[in-house]
Structure 1
């Protein structure tokens, strides 16, 4: 299994108090199958698969009062160094780096505006095994009310270089890592998104048909926050699962 380059989003997982519900909803929505971690300490953490390849995970929340949330993981060669850089750049270390059995080393951080993200230093588990195909992660985007602060922070932490482009109602920023744009940033969006959301990282999954997937999500008890619409990259919609976790889907041309 090939790894993901450092500085690149490599994994996404869902923390939810309704793990059983998530294990019903997402396989019905995306055609995923599940593989439960054998360790009792993992709390039933489940790796979701497409055609036998890992695409995402789901597990119990870190604390009982944690709201259901999809998390973005960025690959790193050194999770402890990433933690040092987060603090030096004005962010918070929410969970200090620790080993996840023999799979990898991770830490959970927040940027100065409060957007939570994780890092993954791979060991046996390198990250997702499939990207950009239906049912797999295809994009990660920061929604932040402080884009200038975010530009300084993520450049210090990951070496990302921001590239601004005009968009309807504001500016879209691409995060360049080496030769590639690996993620994006937008200002807080209206048009269906909750107005009280703090800064957050959104996880996007590729689908074959955005309209059909959004309709199916609603049938399964989810919520359509932003109905399918055409954007430059494809046809996109923002959804919530039945427990309230926000995620996006996109069907690309």
Structure 2
């Protein structure tokens, strides 16, 4: 990538109990490689690289109560102003904004529907070095019990365009779509919060799903074709430590 546009997803990081095990799983699935940052202030934070480009990251859980999960970061040119705008629109600010050495500034929030997300103002590190290519980030889905409230929040704070639909609204900037917002199924237990899940582009969804299962993951949904015009083939996977993500490929 040569440019990350403010308001767009710019990073995805996984928090786990066992970083080496995560490196083994995602290395086997996507060909990602990584070495924990040797600087002790980063606490074992590890960037996944693919062909030398930053693809995502994995880090140890900050406390035992923290769930294993993927966290989506959204780019901003002014993290203080964006944090205040998000709070004014109903978000909860949990941490930050804080400096991350010279690499940038970070903040952790929940949107008004309860979904965690982060803000990132890039310094020496902008975020994704590769997207929309096999084995890299290409989409993100928000599952929430308040779809209309969520889309109104992100549109108001980040200027996202919303392509409305009763059950699944796609979102993006300008003409570029990069995600969707869907209603959580009523059968989902109430203790499951609203959440973002990254989707990674692969060459073959069926083969990648089979590889994930062989490596100890669980295929929660699919592989299946999305029944819409130009809909991709997708699968939703839970990694061996509980992190949930999706894979997709154009049909």
**Structure-1-length-normalised TM-score:** 0.92
**Distance across 1 between alignment mates of 2:38 and 2:103:** 13
CA distance in 2, matches of 1:35, 1:133: 22
Offset of residue 174 of structure 1: 1.8
In 2, the alpha carbon distance for the partners of 1:198 and 1:179 equals: 30
1:153-195 CA-partner distances (Å, limit 9, x unpaired)? 1122212232213xxxx422122323422321111148xx954
Q: 1:212/1:194 Cα in 2 relative to 1: closer, same or farther (>3 Å)?
A: farther
2:181 pairs with 1:185: yes
Alignment check: 8 A CA contact 2:138 2:178 kept: no
Matching residue within 207, 226, 229 for 2:224: 229
4+ residue stretches of structure 1 with deviation over 6 A?
Answer: none
Describe the SS at the equivalent of 1:35.
coil
Please state if 1:242 is matched with 2:237: no
Residue by residue, what CA displacement relative to the aligned partner does 1:110-146 show, whole Å, maximum 9, x if unpaired? Answer: 0111101111100011111111111100001111110
- Structure 1 partner of 2:18: 18
Distance 1:188 1:156 in 2: 22
How many angstroms apart in 2 are the aligned matches of 1:79 and 1:132? 26
Q: Whole-Å Cα distance in 2 between the matches of residues 141 and 57 of structure 1? A: 18
Once residues 194 and 228 of structure 1 are traced to their aligned partners in structure 2, the CA distance between those partners, rounded to angstroms, is: 20
Structure 1 Cα separation of the partners of residues 82 and 63 of structure 2: 23
Check whether the contact 1:224–1:240 (CA below 8 A) recurs between aligned residues.
yes
Q: C-alpha distance in 1, partners of 2:176/2:212?
A: 32
8 Å Cα contact 2:8/2:172 also seen in 1: no
For 2:167, the equivalent position in structure 1 comes to 171
Deviations 1:84-122 (A, max 9, x none): 112101110011211111111111110111101111100
Contact 1:162/1:173 (8 A) holds in 2: yes
- Map residues 15-94 of structure 1 onto 2, 5 A cutoff: 15-94=15-94
Two-structure CA RMSD over aligned residues (Å): 1.6
CA distance in 1, matches of 2:15, 2:189: 22
SS of residue in 2 equivalent to 1:34: coil
**Unaligned stretches of 5+ in structure 1?**
none
| 47-56 or 1-10: bigger deviation | 1-10
3-state SS of the aligned residue for 2:124?
coil
- Aligned residue pairs total 247
Q: Which stretch shifts more, 44-53 or 154-163? A: 154-163
Q: Matches of 1:4 and 1:29 in 2, distance apart? A: 26
